[in-house]
Amino acid sequence: MQFQIEHGPAFAWLRVQLGAGERITAEAGAMVRQSPTLEMDTRLNAPRSTGVFGKIWGFMVAMARKMFGGETPFLNDFHGATGGEVVLAPSLSGSVVHRRLGGGSTMFVQTGSYLASSGNVDMRIRWGGLRSFFGGEGLVLLECFGDGDLFMNSYGGVTEVPIDGAFVVDTGHIVAFEGSLDFKVRSIGGLKSFLFSGEGLVCEFQGRGTVFIQSRNMDSLVSWLSPMLGS
Amino acid sequence: MRYDVLDAPDFGLLRITLERAGERIVAESGAMVAMDAKIKTETSMRGGVLAAAKRKVLGGESLFQNTFIAEADQQRLFLAPAPEGDLRALQLAAGQQFFLQSGAYVAHVGEELKLDTQWGGVRSFFGGLGFFMLKLTGPGTVFYASYGAVHPVAVSGNYICDTGHIVGFGSELTYTIQKFGGYKGLFFSGEGLVCNFSGQGQLLLQTRNPASLVGFLNPYRRVQSRS
Amino acid sequence: MHYEIQYRPAHALAFAHLQPGESVRAEASAMVSMTPNVAVETQANTGGGLLKSLKRSMLGGESFFTNRFTAVGSPGHVSFAPDLCGDLLVHELTGTQLLIQGSSYVSAPDSVQIDTKFQGFKGFFSGESLFFLSATGYGPVLMNAFGAVETLDLNGELIVDTGHLVAFTSGIEYTVTKAGKGWIQSFLSGEGLVLRMRGQGRVYIQSRNPAEYGRAIGAELPPRRS
């Protein structure tokens, strides 16, 4: 399999050339164009080696993801007997980032940031901290593991920040982070800041590892647009 | 304090380094993306309760601002605006005046910088859109953002633009606001107002119009069910 | 007249430079700025009849009115931008025909004729409607792309998601088909309808789908009353 990330950083897409029998899994709705030689299979987002109950659980988890992450619960697998090319793109403006997984490493990916994966990459949903009583963002993550390629998308540009110590990120701006980091979800300051700062929740990272941050977020966009909306 | 802007002009992201403990920057609420752990955040009402309340009624601007104060040396702070587009710095000399569209304000440095919302031409620019013009008086540095790219125009004579595309302009320019050729669009765009600038001075335009985005998104909103 | 495009590819702004007496037409909401010597005429889009224009505006593809900008007395310019971030591109017509997806057309001079050529497809599930304008004649046509543009010279066959198609030249045949093997899969896969394109010619593709973008953000916005 070969791939190119083109048109970044503002409107990046992922172009993949699949060899005979190779496959790539992508979030539903991501296909831009494809060779007619490729087939598309649709399945539920559940770890592959699960039985019936596992699949039902996977469906419920995927529905929960849909409520919190805005993602549909389905994935598409592209493959073909003679191979072919498929181009995948996310819904929002922004970048696409590639990460090679293997050797037991994990990436925690914000649910809306998963675009595609290949090889033996698998995932499960994780809750990264309580949803606050006042509403707010919480943190719903996909833990991605296995051997293979992982492709993530961002809203806005992506900045990779290597951490050695402590670092704080607004939860809406997290694309992904390495599993080696400890994290804790909290409010940005005291009670007054929590209620009025407009910042929502933040995630404090500790340890060593890389965080990928995106430079735009949906909540800020909605706040910016809301006063302009008619009824 | 050092700063640079990443990913400009596509998705400007402001990276500030507060080099010494005690250095501070004031920012629009909601602008914080990420920061080193030894930065304290103080939330306060901007310019007093009454002024803030009046601003809230006009819309488009939050009541609160955040002051970020370094508690150690070399603390990094990343700030970003809401819209997709560029982010730039504007240095104002003492007494220099500039009008900035309220939604474009991101942050500023300089205790003496004045942000004024109480002046004559405040509301007329944007119809019912919820934006208004801030009057800035230097000295200080203002960080502002655009929806789209920033297109600077050196006005010499007259120039006409759609008001939704105005980011800001120097106080040396005069202007009149009028309906666009009598045409009232069928689109949701804030009444199609144009601004005719005259004189010699700097005009900053943005290459996208928030009202057009709102018009595009409107059909995709859920419809409120009657109960 | 000629178009000059700046701030490509994400925030493109097009300047139509006009000699005295020259005109350019544009979709109603596209004007960003202009020199003071440009006169503006608003016209109802009667190409194809009033009923067709109304149909077009109801489908959401194109507004009912176009503006005609003319430089008077001296050279001037008008600048245009689309609703969403992304690129602008020019295709030069030389007596040929270009089929443009409805919401991608921005502007053209009088030497180019724009006609509606409605393709009657409303996607059952996604609400996508497919609707093309036909551009013929001589001169440049200004189009917008949501996202970045890919210019493909097709010689063979290609499957394209409907929301990602900007325009294509008339030597290409296409059929609208389901993305998946059945209607349910087409819905669940998120792809809906796709275009199977065959032939020789040029295809312009945009790297984002406006309807998907609209749905992703629209779902987060406060509901509207009607």
- Residue A185 tokens read as 């979800």
- In angstroms, what separates the C-alpha of A29 from chain C's closest C-alpha? 4
Per-residue pLDDT reduced to its tens digit, A14-29: 999 999 989 999 988 8
Using DSSP, state whether A27 is helix, strand or coil: strand
Whether C109 and C142 have beta carbons less than 8 Å apart is answered as no
Of the candidates C158, C205, C216, the beta carbon closest to that of A91 is on C216
- B212, closest residue in chain A (CA to CA): A228
Whether C149 and C206 have beta carbons less than 8 Å apart is answered as yes
- Model confidence band, residue A50 (pLDDT cutoffs 50, 70, 90): low
Burial of C207 (0-12, 13-18, 19+ CB in 10 A): buried
Using DSSP, state whether A30 is helix, strand or coil: coil
Of the candidates C35, C85, C217, the beta carbon closest to that of B217 is on C217
What is the 3-class SS of chain C, one letter each residue? CEEEEECCCCECEEEEEECCCCEEEEEHHHEEEECCCEEEEEEECCCCCHHHHHHHHHCCCCCCEEEEEEECCCCEEEEECCCCCEEEEEEEEEEEEEEEEHHHEEEECCCEEEEEEEEEEECCCCCCEEEEEEEEEEEEEEEEEEECEEEEEEEEEEEEEHHHEEEEECCEEEEEEECCCCHHHHHHCCCCEEEEEEEEEEEEEECCCHHHHHHHHHCCCCCECC
Per-residue pLDDT reduced to its tens digit, C101-149: 888 999 999 999 988 765 545 444 445 566 788 899 999 999 999 999 9
Whether C99 and C170 have beta carbons less than 8 Å apart is answered as yes
Per-residue pLDDT reduced to its tens digit, A145-188: 999 999 999 999 999 999 999 999 998 899 999 999 998 887 77
Residue A25 and residue A149: Cα distance in Å, rounded? 10
Candidates B5, B13, B86: best to mutate against A (most CBs of A within 10 A) is B13
pLDDT score recorded for residue A22: 93
Q: Is the pLDDT of residue A131 over 50?
A: no
pTM of the model: 0.87
| Residue C81 or A42, more confident | C81
The residue type of A174 is I
Cβ-proximal residues to B48 (8 Å cutoff; 6+ apart), any chain: none
For residue C8, the tally of other CB atoms under 10 A from its CB is 16
Compute the mean pLDDT over every residue in chain B, rounded to the nearest whole number. 83
For chain B, list residues whose CB is within 8 angstroms of any CB belonging to chain C. 9-10, 84-86, 148-149, 151, 153, 157-162, 165, 180-183, 185-187, 189, 192, 196, 205, 207-209, 212-213, 215-224
Whether B111 and B141 have beta carbons less than 8 Å apart is answered as no
Of the candidates A70, A89, A218, the beta carbon closest to that of C208 is on A89
Q: What are phi and psi of C37, to 5 degrees?
A: -90, 15
Residue B82 and residue B11: Cα distance in Å, rounded? 10
Cβ-proximal residues to B3 (8 Å cutoff; 6+ apart), any chain: B14, B15, B16, B17, B89, B143
- Are the beta carbons of A32 and C180 separated by less than 8 Å? no
Q: Is B165 left (phi over 0), alpha (psi -120 to 50) or beta?
A: alpha
For chain C, list residues whose CB is within 8 angstroms of any CB belonging to chain A. 9-10, 85-87, 147-148, 150, 157-161, 164, 179-180, 185, 188-191, 194, 196, 205, 207-209, 212-213, 215-217, 219-222, 224-225
| Residue A81 or B179, more confident | A81
Of the candidates C215, C219, C221, the beta carbon closest to that of A225 is on C221
- In angstroms, what separates the C-alpha of C27 from chain A's closest C-alpha? 23
- In angstroms, what separates the C-alpha of B29 from chain A's closest C-alpha? 5
CB pairs under 8 A between A and B: 129
Of the candidates C157, C180, C205, the beta carbon closest to that of A36 is on C157
Q: Is the pLDDT of residue C156 over 60?
A: yes
- Are the beta carbons of C224 and B84 separated by less than 8 Å? no
Residues of A in contact with C225 (CB under 8 A): 231
pLDDT score recorded for residue A225: 87
Whether A123 and A47 have beta carbons less than 8 Å apart is answered as yes
Q: Is the pLDDT of residue A122 over 80?
A: yes
- Are the beta carbons of C11 and B208 separated by less than 8 Å? yes
- Are the beta carbons of A225 and B60 separated by less than 8 Å? no
C-alpha distances in Å from residue C95, one per residue of A21, C111, C112, C138, C140: 45, 10, 9, 5, 11
Of the candidates C10, C164, C190, the beta carbon closest to that of A72 is on C190
| Residue A66 or A53, more confident | A53
Q: Which residues does residue C156 pair with via DSSP β-bridges, in sequence order?
A: C199
Of the candidates C7, C31, C42, the beta carbon closest to that of B207 is on C7
C-alpha distances in Å from residue C100, one per residue of A11, C69, C115, C131: 21, 22, 10, 8
Residue C34 and residue A108: Cα distance in Å, rounded? 49
Whether B158 and B166 have beta carbons less than 8 Å apart is answered as no
What is the 3-class SS of A155-213, one letter each residue? CECEEEEEEEEEEEEEHHHEEEEECCCEEEEEECCCHHHHHHCCCCEEEEEEEEEEEEE
Cβ-proximal residues to B169 (8 Å cutoff; 6+ apart), any chain: B98, B99, B175, B197, B201, B202, B203, B204
Residues of B in contact with C13 (CB under 8 A): 148-149, 151, 207
Q: Which residues does residue C67 pair with via DSSP β-bridges, in sequence order?
A: C26, C42
pLDDT score recorded for residue B194: 85
Of the candidates C148, C160, C185, the beta carbon closest to that of A33 is on C160
For chain B, list residues whose CB is within 8 angstroms of any CB belonging to chain A. 6-7, 10-13, 28-37, 39-43, 59-60, 62-64, 66, 78, 80-84, 103, 129-131, 188, 210-211, 213-214, 217-218, 221
- Are the beta carbons of A157 and B82 separated by less than 8 Å? no
Whether A160 and A105 have beta carbons less than 8 Å apart is answered as no
Using DSSP, state whether B44 is helix, strand or coil: strand
Section C64-75 average pLDDT: 85
- In angstroms, what separates the C-alpha of B12 from chain C's closest C-alpha? 12
Per-residue pLDDT reduced to its tens digit, B100-136: 988 899 999 988 888 887 555 556 677 656 677 888 9
Residues of C in contact with B86 (CB under 8 A): 11
